[in-house]
Amino acid sequence: MQHNFTTIQQYSTGRKETTVVLSFSFQEHELFIGLYDGKALPKSSIFYSTRIFSSNIKNSIGKKETEEYFIKHACLSRNTYRMIEQDDFDINTSLHTIVRGEDEAAMVESVGLALVKLPDVLNRLKPDVMIVHGDRFDALAVATSAALMNIRILHIEGGEVSGTIDDSIRHAITKLAHYHVCCTRSAELHLIAMCEDHKRILLAGCPSYDLLLNAKTKDYQSILQTWLGDDVKPKEYIVALQHPVTTNIKHSVKMFELTLNALITFEKRTLILFPNIDAGSKEMVRAMRKQGIEQNPNFRAVKHIPFEQFIQLVAYAGLMIGNSSCGVREAGAFGTPVINLGTRQTGRETGENVLHVRDADCQNKILHALQLQFAKQYPCSKIYGDGNAVPRILKFLKSIDINEPLQKNFCFPPVKECISQDIDHILETQSALAVDLGGTNLRVAIISMQGDLIKKYIQPNPETFNERIALIRKMCVDAATESVNLNCRILGVGISTGGRVNPAEGIVLHSTKLIQEWISVDLRTPISDALHLPVWVDNDGNCAALAEKKYGHGKGVENFVTVITGTGIGGGIIHNSELIHGSMFCAAELGHIIVSLDGPECMCGARGCIEAYASGMGLQREAKKLHDEDLLMVEGMSIKNEEAVSAVHLIQAAKLGNTKAQNVLRTAGTALGIGIVNILHTVNPSLVILSGVLASTFESMVKDVIAQRALSSTQNVEVLVSDLLEPALLGAASMALDYATRRTY
Ligand SMILES: [Zn+2]
């Protein structure tokens, strides 16, 4: 029997201004909304749901005896509609909200239809409290309407976990509801974990248990005979009730077929109920027909049994099988053995009477479970309540202050600061593109925030401006494209170049003779336009100092100097943790510190610069001079014909005992040392970092000169050889990585 209507009734709590609306839905998908008005004082009101639930709002508030009356009667009622009538409820409106059909779309349309019709009704009735029960999709429509219309919602049976779409609906209603009544301690904890205000949560126990714990009647025999035949005895029959799992219809139909096969083989008297009308039920009914269940003498297939009779049938059954909540919940009150199939009730708290067959994938598994469980008697379970839920709920309802602000407050727990899931943080390493423009090579690298060189690209540095700019752009674009596959997120581009740079504008003002056509070059604009990324540019010596500051010996050091001795000599000065650029961006041109009045000629045009003594070029010049006079080569050395004489040969000769070569190196080291003493006397750093290919060659000589010549108060300076392999690239990257969050250049 299906009603397919919605009942609206009016009720007042006696205070004329307070109206309570009760909503309850049925197994057969009826959406009941009971609103009771003060004129028709009902003796009782009843909530019915997929489970029996009853309550007497009006009379309970002050009159205990009517509660008892009501509870007694709820159990005896024949069907809900008549029960409501019997209770003198004034049914003044009925709404059709169920769309015919047994698929997902029909459920959605039913919710939609209810949403269309409910505002009118609620506007007319203007309830103060709306009671929503359970987790059916129609209850979601009621809760949604009430929440949007600023009506207080009391949700019953929230916080439970069952393992289907019902979970989502139940929790969604929890979020909409202002007050919560739950059945078990774990449901209560779930509600608190869901950030609901614990002051508005009542752990009442399951209302149906109020009735169930005393529901066994002595005249059960006639009920058993009505549904199962005259010769049936208690504990000798099975009740089967299996519903489709809407999230996996195909699987649940298959599971149903296996269950039917197992039951046919088991050959016990079986009362089987047709599934509810959820999506998938049509296929399940078809499976029943195919197996000839209705013709099988052991089976009795029925569409509907009045709940109070059904409860008697469950109470005296030898076993209940299926996936209905009644099995894991109500059956426990009688200690009836239960086989719970599949995942529909996953997460529900169950008593020891329940045997789970979660993966019901073969008939034998189910058959074995039947053999284990049939005709056992378990102790009555009280997980879901102690029989006093309804009086608690009524007390709670009475305590609701309708003058209290309606705004819901969510009690969010303190959460550790964390970043929401973002592609940057899940997959990609924050990185920079680093460009190093040297006299010989043009190098581009992808460098991570941690200073790891992810990938390096090298090309000869073109001699003309146009070719060079075009190549930088191409290499950067290629690297940026590849960075995605390397799981790197490019934050910006840092460019290290020889010459004098205005870092504020990203312009190379003047270059060394090593890089042709490199004067007044705006490097920032073309690279930034090509990559749509911020671009920083600085001198290679300054970049080396930045690299030391972020990744090297200079980490955490406020005042230090880097001296790079390679082909030329450069450097950078960090003062109070900042690079010194000077008024014309010419600070830290350390290679051109002059240490003698005459001395060798320097690339800069002056004489006696430390670059002229101690750079690779300076040493090469001296090596050639010795070689031309045939004074360079010693035993154990060889220079191939095509090979240019270089600093490497000079150092090799000195190591092999060539005193002329040793003298050249000593002079170079002394010049460098004196230059560094001048730096100590100018900026008084606490650390000097020697970097570049010749750093270790000069280390001890520099230390000696400082010990001999520096003012005593600068003597505490530490001299270290850099351990960075790519200072120019790392420094260039550090500009982008450290400043990328700063949106201005
Ligand atoms: Zn110079």
Segment 541-568 mean pLDDT? 94
Q: Is residue 473 part of a domain?
A: yes
- 37 marked ligand binding residue: no
Percent of the chain topping pLDDT 90: 45
Are β-strands 560-565 and 569-575 bridged in parallel, bridged antiparallel, or unpaired? Answer: antiparallel
- 159 and 221 housed in the same domain: no
Q: Is residue 416 part of a domain?
A: no
Quick check: 151 pLDDT over 70? Answer: yes
Weakest-pLDDT range from 36-40, 165-169, 381-385, 445-449: 36-40
The larger pLDDT score, comparing residue 514 to residue 456, is at: 456
Please tell me the predicted confidence (pLDDT) of residue 359: 82
Please tell me the predicted confidence (pLDDT) of residue 205: 85
CA–CA separation, 256 vs 285, rounded Å? 10
Q: Write down the mean pLDDT value for the chain.
A: 81
Residue 418: pLDDT band with limits 50, 70, 90: low
Quick check: 39 pLDDT over 50? Answer: no
Please tell me the predicted confidence (pLDDT) of residue 243: 84
- 434 and 537 housed in the same domain: yes
Segment 125-146 mean pLDDT? 79
Segment 559-578 mean pLDDT? 94
Please tell me the predicted confidence (pLDDT) of residue 343: 78
Q: How far, rounded to the nearest angstrom, does the alpha carbon of residue 180 sit from its chain's CA centroid?
A: 28
Q: How far, rounded to the nearest angstrom, does the alpha carbon of residue 645 sit from its chain's CA centroid?
A: 62
Token pair, residue 29, equals 């998908």
Please tell me the predicted confidence (pLDDT) of residue 29: 32
Picking from 374, 377, 378, the residue whose alpha carbon sits closest to that of residue 270 is 374
- 510 and 622 housed in the same domain: no
The larger pLDDT score, comparing residue 399 to residue 586, is at: 586
Segment 173-177 mean pLDDT? 96
Q: Which residues are catalytic?
A: 540
The larger pLDDT score, comparing residue 403 to residue 91, is at: 403
Whole-number Cα distances in Å, 49 to 18, 25, 665: 24, 5, 97
Segment 160-184 mean pLDDT? 89
- 197 and 228 housed in the same domain: no
Q: Is residue 2 part of a domain?
A: no
Please tell me the predicted confidence (pLDDT) of residue 427: 64
Residue 18: pLDDT band with limits 50, 70, 90: very low
Residues sharing a CB contact under 8 Å with residue 558, sequence separation 6 or more, in sequence order: 574, 575, 576, 577, 686
CA–CA separation, 9 vs 58, rounded Å? 13
- 511 and 618 housed in the same domain: no
- 78 and 201 housed in the same domain: yes
Weakest-pLDDT range from 36-40, 167-171, 518-522: 36-40
- 196 and 338 housed in the same domain: no
Sign of the torsion formed by the C-alpha atoms of 251, 253, 258 and 262: positive
Centroid of ligand 1 to alpha carbon of 612 (angstroms): 7
- 82 and 225 housed in the same domain: no
The amino acid at residue 43 is K
Full domain range(s) for residue 75: 20-209
The larger pLDDT score, comparing residue 48 to residue 447, is at: 447
- 257 marked ligand binding residue: no
Q: Is residue 461 part of a domain?
A: yes
Residue 174: pLDDT band with limits 50, 70, 90: very high
Residue 424: pLDDT band with limits 50, 70, 90: low
Please tell me the predicted confidence (pLDDT) of residue 615: 95
Please tell me the predicted confidence (pLDDT) of residue 211: 67
Task: Judge contact between 10 and 36, C-beta under 8 A.
Answer: yes
Centroid of ligand 1 to alpha carbon of 659 (angstroms): 27
Whole-number Cα distances in Å, 648 to 328, 601, 609, 611, 638: 86, 21, 21, 16, 12
Please tell me the predicted confidence (pLDDT) of residue 97: 66
Centroid of ligand 1 to alpha carbon of 77 (angstroms): 108
Q: Is residue 409 part of a domain?
A: no
- 152 and 281 housed in the same domain: no
Q: Which of 154, 175, 209 lies at the terminal end of a domain, its last residue?
A: 209
Residue 58: pLDDT band with limits 50, 70, 90: very low
State how many domains the chain has. Answer: 4
- 160 marked ligand binding residue: no
* Residues β-bridged to residue 156: 133, 181
CA–CA separation, 561 vs 85, rounded Å? 94
Please tell me the predicted confidence (pLDDT) of residue 98: 66
Task: Judge contact between 1 and 32, C-beta under 8 A.
Answer: no
- 630 marked ligand binding residue: no
- 515 and 588 housed in the same domain: no
Centroid of ligand 1 to alpha carbon of 577 (angstroms): 27
The larger pLDDT score, comparing residue 602 to residue 54, is at: 602
Please tell me the predicted confidence (pLDDT) of residue 102: 63
DSSP reduced 3-state for 520: coil
Centroid of ligand 1 to alpha carbon of 611 (angstroms): 6
Token pair, residue 224, equals 């058993």
- 3-state percent helix, strand, coil for the chain, nearest multiple of 5: 40, 20, 40
CA–CA separation, 600 vs 598, rounded Å? 7
CA–CA separation, 104 vs 583, rounded Å? 74
Please tell me the predicted confidence (pLDDT) of residue 570: 92
Picking from 538, 583, 584, the residue whose alpha carbon sits closest to that of residue 562 is 538
Q: Which of 174, 209, 244 lies at the terminal end of a domain, its last residue?
A: 209
- 411 marked ligand binding residue: no
Centroid of ligand 1 to alpha carbon of 698 (angstroms): 19
CB count in 10 Å sphere of residue 399: 9
CATH number at residue 688: 3.30.420.40
Q: Which of 191, 209, 227 lies at the terminal end of a domain, its last residue?
A: 209
- 540 marked ligand binding residue: yes
- 704 and 567 housed in the same domain: yes
Please tell me the predicted confidence (pLDDT) of residue 19: 45
Please tell me the predicted confidence (pLDDT) of residue 422: 58
Sign of the torsion formed by the C-alpha atoms of 465, 466, 472 and 473: positive
User: Quick one: CA torsion of 728, 733, 738, 740, rounded to 10 degrees?
Assistant: 140
- 697 and 607 housed in the same domain: yes
* Residues β-bridged to residue 154: 131, 179
Residue 96: pLDDT band with limits 50, 70, 90: low
Weakest-pLDDT range from 82-96, 155-169, 482-496, 722-736: 82-96
Q: Is residue 538 part of a domain?
A: yes
Q: Is residue 539 part of a domain?
A: yes
Q: Is residue 4 part of a domain?
A: no
Kindly report the pTM of this predicted structure: 0.52
Quick check: 132 pLDDT over 90? Answer: no
CATH number at residue 328: 3.40.50.2000
Quick check: 10 pLDDT over 80? Answer: no
Quick check: 744 pLDDT over 60? Answer: no
